[in-house]
Amino acid sequence: MSNTSIKPAAILTLLAGLVGISLVLYAWRLPPFTSSIETTDNAYVRGAVTMMSPQVSGYVVDVPVKDYQAVEEGQVLARIDDRIFRQKQAQAEAALATQKAALDNSRQQETAAKARIASSEAAVDAADADLEQAVLQSSRQDSLIRSGVATTSAQEQAHATLDRARAAMAQAKAAVEVSRQDLQTIIVNRGSLEAAVANAEAAVELARIDLANTEIRAPRKGTLGEVGVRVGQYVATGTQMMAVVPQEVWIIANFKETQLSGMAVGQPVDIVVDALDRRVLKGKLERFSPATGSEFAVIKADNATGNFVKIAQRVGVRISVDPSDEAAARLAPGMSVVVRIDKGADPA
């Protein structure tokens, strides 16, 4: 009968092998370590950070806020010297008053032109009466001449009077036509005057907008970042002055494409926040990126080479944070988090 003994070194080697195999199986999520939970630490807090910039150029005369100050929507963050813009508005308003006066003058000219037409038409009626009388007088003299009663000079005078009456009638009708053409000219010019008034009104509105833009106001409620502008500094259009960080935040988690199978919108998410002593917040998967992160890169990788190595790409996933947890208000854009999604859970 022989005694078979296992040496301690062999036992340690066997245990080390089992541990190594177990670690490999766990790392690759192979049986018996398969799991429906996918995790990534490539995840960060995001927010709609708004960089405040002026729309007009000038010297800063007031900065009533400080670094990291909470602000309300519409609160003044900085003021630019507005003296030039006030004068431009006054100049535009004066130009508008001039154009309105010209338009009012045109309306008055229209009224006067209509009165001249009425006067000319009355002159036509008077000329018509004179012409009718002259025709009768001329006919009467012609009859008297045939009867041998009137003289030739009276007949010639009657004919001359008739000719003058006819000329006066033609002149009166021409005066009516001239008055009508004058009215039409006034009406045609009215369009250009009205356009000039509209242009002046637009100039006034632009001047008011520029004046209002000398005050940079918070577009929404939030917290300021570092205030990068100082009193007396000259700022141009587009100069970055400060950032407004709103309270609403979300998570962008970048999962490998091999992890996406089974994920669905509405699935619950656990969010581990490093900055909050690894406190776990609750969230929900909102939507997936339409492309991998490499597609949005400025410099894209060139895979058309002979030394190609396949690399699993990452796809961004947007996750909303449950606002009922008071710790959610302490999240700030840029914080790193660890995200766990249970692919086996039913979407909410």
Please report the domains of the chain, with CATH numbers, ordered by start residue.
Answer: 36-49+244-342 (2.40.30.170), 54-80+214-239 (2.40.50.100), 83-212 (1.10.287.620)
- pLDDT value, residue 2: 47
User: Residue 121 contacts by C-beta under 8 Å, 6 or more apart in sequence?
Assistant: 176
What is the chain's pLDDT, residue by residue, as a tens digit (348 residues)? 445 566 777 777 888 888 888 777 666 666 666 567 888 999 999 998 999 999 999 999 999 999 999 999 999 999 999 999 999 999 999 999 999 998 888 888 878 878 888 877 787 778 778 777 777 777 776 676 677 666 777 767 777 777 787 887 788 788 788 888 887 887 878 888 889 999 999 999 999 999 999 999 999 999 999 999 999 999 999 999 999 999 899 999 999 988 888 899 999 999 999 888 889 999 999 999 998 877 787 777 766 666 777 777 899 999 999 988 888 888 999 999 999 998 888 887
Helices 83-147/152-212 angle, 10° precision: 170
The pTM (predicted TM-score) of the whole model is 0.68
- CB neighbour burial string for 3-40, b if at least 16 within 10 angstroms, e if fewer: eeeeeeeeeeeeeeeeeeeeeeeeeeeeeeeeeeebeb
- Residue 302 CB contacts under 8 Å (≥ 6 apart), including other chains: none
Residue 31: HSE in the Cβ half-sphere, 13 Å Cα cutoff? 0
- Neighbouring C-beta atoms of residue 238, cutoff 10 Å: 10
Q: Quote the DSSP letter at residue 215.
A: E
Close Cβ partners of 160 (under 8 Å, ≥ 6 residues apart): none
Residues 340 and 41: their CA atoms lie apart, in Å, by 9
